[in-house]
Structure 1
Amino acid sequence: MAVEIRPVGPDERAAWEPLWAGYLDFYNATLAPGTSDVTWARFHDAAEPMHLLGAYVGGKLTGIVQFIYHRSCWTAGDYCYLQDLFVANSARGLGLGRKLIEAVYARAEADGCSRVHWLTQPGNTTARLLYDRIADDSGFMQYRKLF
């Protein structure tokens, strides 16, 4: 089957929502009401540093990657934070995760970013098999304070 990686259009929210919900379910996450509305609007606002690409198999959206450009004190170029990556269960094993990450790499490099980085949980072993092949483990741990 043909695979196409491209931006998800503003008229494709109904196709994005189940994938976004699947990602949130995977991490047992809930969002405050209206957060997905704000997120969706940001993806389609040229002034925002947030981006959304989709993996289409046979014309159907089956995977998403959401990423954000941000400044760094360490480089002149922005960093690219790959925040969310999700592939529908029905499309697992087709290499879509790798294709989505590679599309982010290409886009970030073309846009002058100096790196792409992301987080995952240590127990996310299936994803880590891929990540260990296509990126370096930074060795850093994340700390946070929620408000």
Structure 2
Amino acid sequence: MITVGGLTEDDRAAWENLFAGYNTFYGRTLAPELVDRAWREFSRGERLHALGARVDGALVGIAHFFTHVSTTSADVCYLQDLFTDAEVRGRGAGRALIEAVAGWARARGCVRVYWHTHTSNTAARRLYDQVAVDKGFMQYQIPLDA
């Protein structure tokens, strides 16, 4: 059975492992200060939020998200990071996390939840095509070397 809830201090090591797996999937390694900053933000629960999926008490998936204003609607929720341990994929943890984020956002008056994924992420896209609508938008970026 999969349960979803907030992260606690006891989850830090398992969360770091999952977050590292997420970043490795996208070909990046985060500096320790960015990992620490993310954890601090999640702990505060003001700007960034995190939920974890558990199987038999073990943290097996994570979702990171935040709300922001919109010029065309009420606030929206951006699901920035979603990752599940490879050993539990296909067993409902990702779906449970998405549903929990949607419920969290709905309770706060958001009108939609949205996210991005790489077009090559076919495993995730199979799930996403079941739970959401692909609106056909592409993402463009301008890197700002700060």
TM-score relative to the length of structure 1: 0.93
1:121 matched to 2:118? The reply is yes
CA distance in 2, matches of 1:15, 1:5: 15
- Cross-structure match for 1:9: 8
- 3-state SS of the aligned residue for 1:34? helix
**Could you tell me which residue of structure 1 aligns to residue 40 of structure 2?**
41
How many Å separate the matches in 2 of 1:52 and 1:10? 12
Alignment of 1:87 with 2:64, yes or no, is no
Contact 1:8 1:54 in 2 (8 A): yes
Q: In 1, distance between residues paired with 2:92 and 2:51?
A: 15
Q: Compute the displacement of 1:15 (Å).
A: 1.5
Q: Secondary structure at the match of 1:113?
A: coil
Structure 2 Cα separation of the partners of residues 3 and 136 of structure 1: 24
Aligned to 1:60: 58
Contact kept? 1:49, 1:70, Cα under 8 Å:
no
Provide the C-alpha distance between the structure 2 equivalents of 1:40 and 1:115, rounded to a whole number of angstroms: 25
Matched with 1:143 is: 140
Matched, 1:102 2:99: yes
Structure 1 residue runs of 5 or longer lacking an equivalent are none
1:22-78 residue CA offsets vs partner (Å, 9 max, x unmatched): 0000000122441111111000114x2211000010000000011111111111x21
Match of residue 50 from structure 1: 48
Secondary structure of the equivalent of 1:15? helix
Q: Could you state the TM-score of these two structures normalised by the residue count of structure 2? A: 0.94
Percent identity of the aligned residues? 50
Return the letter of the residue paired with 1:40: W
Q: Greater helix percent: which structure?
A: 2
Q: Contact 2:18 / 2:62 at 8 angstroms: preserved in 1?
A: yes
